[in-house]
Amino acid sequence: MAEEKLNTAEDEISLKELILKLKEWYLYLLSKWKTILIAGILGGALGLAYALIKKPVYTATTTFVLEEGESGGGLGAYAGIASMVGIDLGGGGGGIFKGDNILELYKSRKMIQETLLSQDTFAGKQQLLIDRYIEFNKLREDWQEKPELAKLNFSADVKGYNRLRDSVMGKIVETINKSILSVSKPDKKLSIIKVDVKSKDELFAKSFADNIVAKVNQFYVETKTKKSMENVAILQQQTDSVRRVLNSGIGGVAAEIDANPNSNPAFQRLRVGSQKRQVDVQAAGAVYQELVKNLELSKITLRKEKPLIQVIDQPILPIKNNKLSKISGIILGCILFCIASCCFLIIYRFKKMIME
């Protein structure tokens, strides 16, 4: 019992000492209120200056829903029958892109480079997006000491390989991938894709977002349906060719009949030419009928394989930005400097106590 009372007393003494120490430190900081106040005023002034100097960053956001097409499109039975006669109805182009591969497509150099080389209207004049990027980042001012860089031209009229131009383009693409372009799926269970473009230039952010979404989605659809489209084009060409043969054969039958309008039934050889033409017409007609059927089935397959991409939201001026307001800058700067001054005073006194 005596030991328990002793431990309790020691605990109470320790707690009391802790409270007294905290009070002592509180009174010490309170005695330095002028120093803390000056630090807070200085921090508020610096926060205001930062809010005024710091340029806003605009975020252009585009969201769209992606629904994959049906591979095979429910035409497996028709495709099997058609394959027996050497006809491919498609249905195999769906394996090129699956799942989240379109997200990586947005980050590819090909897509970003094509977007940068796109033209748009800025302040009433046509300008390449890459030239706009170089302009608002003032890169040409940094390149003044290097004439070969200052004279770089990214226009489509400039043909051929240029190592320096491709190197600059690669650096810009890398920067865009790291800090400007962001592509994600907000919800893994949904097929909604979100594209964010952050930039100090509001018009560039909007234009880049619009262009890259249009280019990537078009490339995605064309690649997914390329095989089926080629198949439709081949069948269409064959159908048109057989149709011309059929029309020519029908004309030939008529010409043979017109050549002997009142032929003597006793001379059967006079009817051989028209009969041959009729056989050709029947054969061409049968082939034409099958080709038309396969062509329509291929078109159905193409429509079913084509993915659906529907834009939900797109950037509209004015674009939201994350600019720090003046009041927020003052308050944030004041709080940070007050905390920093308190920490400095505590460390200074603690060091002084140790040295004593």
Q: Which of 100-104, 147-151, 333-337 shows the highest mean pLDDT?
A: 333-337
32: left (phi over 0), alpha (psi -120 to 50) or beta: alpha
Specify the pLDDT at position 346. 84
Specify the pLDDT at position 77. 44
The dihedrals phi and psi of 97, each to the nearest 5 degrees, come to: -120, 135
Specify the pLDDT at position 160. 58
Domain map (residue ranges) of the chain: 2-54+324-355, 58-63+93-221, 229-305
Tokens of residue 222, six digits: 């064309």
**DSSP for 143-197?**
TTT-HHHHT----TT--S--HHHHHHHHHHHHHIIIIIEEEE-S-TTS-EEEEEE
Q: Which of 71-75, 184-188, 248-252, 312-316 shows the highest mean pLDDT?
A: 312-316
Residue 2 clears pLDDT 50, i.e. is over it: no
Work out the burial of residue 310: count CB atoms within 10 Å of its CB; fewer than 13 is exposed, 13-18 middle, 19 or more buried.
exposed
163-175 vs 129-136: helix axis angle to the nearest 10?
Answer: 70
Q: What separation, in Å, do the N-terminal and C-terminal C-alpha atoms of the chain show?
A: 41
51-109, pLDDT tens digit by residue? 677 778 899 999 998 887 665 544 444 454 454 444 554 444 444 555 567 888 899 99
User: What is the pTM (predicted TM-score) of this model?
Assistant: 0.68
Specify the pLDDT at position 214. 92
Where is 215: in which H helix or E strand?
helix 202-224
Specify the pLDDT at position 113. 92
218-256, pLDDT tens digit by residue? 998 888 888 888 888 898 888 888 888 777 777 665 565
Q: Could you give the CA distance from residue 96 to residue 180 in angstroms, rounded to a whole number?
A: 28
